[in-house]
Amino acid sequence: MAITISVLKEAPGENRVALSPDVVRKLVKNDYQVLIEQGAGERSFYRDAVYTEAGAKVVDRAEAITQATVIATIAQPDDATIDQMKAGQALIGLLSPLTDIDFVKKLAAKKITALAFELLPRTVSRAQTMDVLSSQASVAGYKVGLMAADHFSRYFPMMITAAGTAKPAKVLVLGTGVAGLQAIGTAKRLGAMVSGYDIRPASRGEVESLGATFLTTSVSATGEGGYARQLTEEETAQQQAELEGFIAQNNVIITTAQVPGRRPPLLVTQKSADEAKTGTLFMDLAASDLGGNVAGSKPGETVTTPNGAEIVGAGDMASQLPASASDMYAKNVQAVLNDVNEDGKLVFDIDDEVVGELLATYDGEIISNRLRSVMELPERKPAEPEEPETPAEDQDDAKGAD
């Protein structure tokens, strides 16, 4: 029987879709069956007819859920969806396992196989084609640069006109990982004067190679796997004080700082936001229900401070460029499927360095060691290779030697 991949319509507010028609075409060619919930691609400008043309079957939600071998989503599906799933079915998406342990426990209790992109070991080279965090951060960084230029009340580039000269906007990007570097590149292309700031000293070269200035910080905090680590209370206070000066010298501040599995660090304090000059624009890419990088930011909303600065809760930037974001996301999903497909069957090797970390749950167990550590469970050791059985004649030989 063919492997059936189902794609569900996301909750309102999420415009992306987990598979693009292009990837559906390739999967169907490789003997997968693809079910698309009616209207799933509409907000990404992929209509049902395009999926049908690509070889998918458009069905209602209940059929998509119950007939699936694996369900591909962008975000966590709702409880009703999980309730309809059966043991042994798989779910792949951005499932927020590190910050929503109850959801993980529910999946484990139902014996659902859950592959969560947040858990991917991104530094393993084989995993790079599966790296949703990078593909979506790249889209988000580009879009936030454009949105900043659109929101800002002045020109980004220097303009010399008969009516006078306009100074270029000064843009500061806090957090220069994948999203931050894209934001820098976009703001530079739009003509702004750009600087970047990060607590990973390794990012200096990347910022400077884009023609932006790297602001030197006294706080250095590289953690595991090339990520930033969480700062101590003392370091946080030191950083916030240092940033106050940098923020006051800029017109547009784009914040993208994250620490995997934790609340985003607060980089712009209430004091900095309150004292920002009228017309200053803060774009908070880290804004989510967990909090953001800017004090007072609200996801999806624009807040105006009493001084007349604007704080945009820009946590959904990838969803605001839905067709490109979905195209990239779909390729990441396809890369995972290719990796676990063995002769037309999905095989999840829990001891594999990539699959074993991507798996939040399998057969009722919590698999990823990163997730296990957050849940304070003991580390899972790979199974010992079995001793090869000694063939019967060798045993006889062994006896004869006695």
Q: How far is CA 251 from CA 113, 175, 212, 241, 313, in A?
A: 47, 17, 15, 18, 17
Candidates 134, 238, 320, 324; catalytic one: 134
> Which residue, 230, 258, 241, 232, is CA-closest to 174?
258
3-state helix vs strand vs coil in the chain, percent to 5: 40, 20, 45
The contact mask relative to ligand NAD for 30-69 (x = CB under 6 A, - = no) is ----------------------------------------
The contact mask relative to ligand NAD for 138-167 (x = CB under 6 A, - = no) is ------------------------------
Q: In this chain, which of 77, 177, 315, 322 binds ligand NAD, going by CB under 6 A?
A: 177
- CA–CA separation, 295 and 357 (whole Å): 34
Both tokens assigned to 218: 């006294």
Minimum CB distance to ligand NAD, residue 197 (Å) = 6
Q: Is 240 a catalytic residue?
A: no
The alpha carbon of 165 is separated from its chain's Cα centroid by a whole number of angstroms, namely 41
Binding of ligand NAD at residue 265 (CB under 6 A)?
A: yes
Total number of residues shown for the chain: 402
Binding of ligand NAD at residue 370 (CB under 6 A)?
A: no
Q: Roughly how many angstroms between the first and final C-alpha of the chain, as a whole number?
A: 54
Beta-sheet strand order (sheet of 170-174):
213-214, 193-197, 170-174, 252-255, 281-284, 310-313, 302-304
Q: Is 67 a catalytic residue?
A: no
The footprint of ligand NAD on residues 229-248 (CB under 6 A) is: 231, 239
Q: In this chain, which of 25, 59, 146, 227 binds ligand NAD, going by CB under 6 A?
A: 227
Candidates 25, 47, 204, 227; catalytic one: 227
Size of the site for ligand NAD (CB under 6 A): 30
Q: Is 227 a catalytic residue?
A: yes
Minimum CB distance to ligand NAD, residue 279 (Å) = 24
Residues facing 195 on adjacent strands: 172, 213
The contact mask relative to ligand NAD for 97-136 (x = CB under 6 A, - = no) is -------------------------xx----x--x-xx--
- CA–CA separation, 256 and 284 (whole Å): 7
| Binding footprint of ligand NAD on the chain (CB under 6 A) | 122-123, 128, 131, 133-134, 137, 174-180, 198-200, 203, 226-228, 231, 239, 256-260, 265, 267
Residues assigned a catalytic role: 122, 128, 131, 134, 227
